[in-house]
Amino acid sequence: MQLYWKVFVFAALFMLMTREASTAWAQGNDRDEDGDRDHRVLHIQHSVTTSQINFPQSLFMYHVLDGANSNGEVRALKGTVFLKNHDSEFSEVLWVLAYWKGECPADDENLTRANIIWTEIQKNPTKSENALAVDLHFTHPLPMTGCIGFIFAGGPLVEGAGAVTMSADLNLEYKRSDAPANAVVGLGGEYCFGQNWGCQNATTNEKDGFAVPIPVPAGHLVELYGNISDSTFDGTNNFGPLPTGEVWGVTNNLYLLPGGCGKFAENLNSQGFPNPTPLAMLNSWLPDNAIHLESVPMDYQIPLGGTSRAPLTRQIETFLPYPVKINDGDCVVVIYGRKGNGATDNETQINAVLTP
């Protein structure tokens, strides 16, 4: 059995082997209950079933406003996404919402010219259907144009695995406006624990963690949004073992480091990903002036004497109590930690909103 494993590099976003594409005209409806006739809703509803490995992609294009040369602002994203395994093998799916400037591309399968609005990741190690609520509100609106793309990417990871169905029923709330000066910065990454391969990097040492340094542009940090999906694998020989004991869990922490990434920038391998390092040491590298932006611990109680086969997923929508000033050269560090044993895939798809 051939095994494929995704190496997720957000800067390149997708190096995908297969692709399906379709184009749809948006159904943009005026909302007048708030008295704003220019407040519109794009209803995004699609479902794709695939047995292909190598992280296949499906892209759906929408034309709203006056096309890619027009500007608008994203005010909210609400609805539900679904991931259904038709068999018991591990799967994962990434949903992406993006826009293009200048013109709507006929073909941009690697999203090389795309600007990201939202990403969400979900993993499923069992034969089941998981539904994830999406309920995001952008008090500091996100930029967009009239050329919107919605992308499914993912499915089963091993040859011969059962089919995977990925679905979405979402409402994108937006309005026509001059282009907001706000910016979206991606803080995503993926790291494996309990096995020595896969993800962007991996470790078998239960005391290790990973710390991802991300230089950020100048501005004011006002919001973090997206999701975290950490999961066991499926208990087969294709992956590392299932957790045992009383509990397995994860820690996810984000810090702003004024003045630069410090030792974290020196702890990268030849591919630019962090090396596994004892979690206690990573925490000791944080400078005294580090600002703790967010902490997302998650735990799963393991049945007595049994093993665990389950995902831990949480939507993130954190409004900072006050705008955090960021200067050129400042750095966000995302620290991944794991509690318990067994093999897990830990991934964040979090974006930061910066105002001028």
Q: Choose the final residue of a domain: 145, 180, 215.
A: 180
- Check residue 109 and give its pLDDT: 66
Q: What percent of the chain has pLDDT over 70?
A: 89
Pick the more confident residue, 31 or 203: 203
Q: Is the pLDDT of residue 31 over 70?
A: no
pLDDT at position 56 over 80: yes
Confidence of residue 30 (pLDDT cuts 50, 70, 90): very low
Q: Band of the pLDDT at 35, cuts 50, 70, 90?
A: low
What is the CATH classification number for the domain harbouring 72? Answer: 2.60.120
Chosen domain end from 180, 214, 236: 180
Same domain, 194 and 302: yes
> Of 180, 196, 228, which marks where a domain is finished?
180
Number of domains comprising the chain: 2
Residues 146 and 215 in one domain: no
Q: Is the pLDDT of residue 13 over 50?
A: no
Question: Which residues partner with 3 through β-bridges?
Answer: 158
169 and 282 part of one domain = no
Contact in structure between 154 and 93 (CB atoms under 8 Å)? yes
Q: Strands across the sheet with 164-176, in order?
A: 28-30, 39-50, 164-176, 71-85, 129-145
Residues 2 and 145 in one domain: yes
pLDDT tens, position by position, 146-197: 999 999 999 999 999 999 999 999 999 999 998 789 999 999 999 999 999 9
Q: Where does the pLDDT of residue 67 fall: very low under 50, low under 70, confident under 90, or very high at 90 and above?
A: confident
- Say if CB 36 and CB 73 are below 8 A apart: no
196: Cα within 13 Å, side-chain hemisphere: 1
Mean pLDDT of 272-290: 98
Domain identity same for 125 and 205: no
pLDDT for 18: 37
Residues 209 and 308 in one domain: yes
What is the residue range of 293's domain? 181-356
Tell which residue, 191, 160, 197, has the closest CA to residue 53: 160
Place of tokens 């004991």: 245
pTM: 0.92
Residue 36: its pLDDT value, please?
Answer: 62
Same domain, yes or no: 345 and 266:
yes
User: Are 191 and 92 spatial neighbours (Cβ–Cβ below 8 Å)?
Assistant: no
Domain identity same for 206 and 95: no
pLDDT value of position 149: 94
Q: What is the DSSP string of 132-185?
A: EEEEEEEEEEEEEESEEEEEEEEEE-BTTPPPEEEEEEEEEEEEE-SPP--EEE
pLDDT at 110: 72
Q: Supply 75's token pair.
A: 């005010």
Choose the weakest-confidence range: 65-69, 97-101, 168-172: 65-69
223 pLDDT higher than 80: yes
Q: Is the pLDDT of residue 34 over 80?
A: no
Least confident residue range of 6-20, 216-230, 235-249, 315-329: 6-20
Residues 142 and 194 in one domain: no
Q: Is 69 helix (H, G, I), strand (E, B) or coil?
A: coil
Predicted confidence at residue 72, as pLDDT, reads: 95
* pLDDT score at 229: 97
Question: Percent of the chain beyond pLDDT 90?
Answer: 81
Neighbours of 91 (CB within 10 A): 29
Mean per-residue pLDDT of the chain: 90
Residue 234 has pLDDT above 50, yes or no: yes
For the stretch 115-147, pLDDT in tens is: 999 999 999 999 999 999 999 999 999 999 999
Considering the domain architecture, whether residues 222 and 90 belong to the same structural domain is answered as no
Average pLDDT over residues 74-89: 98
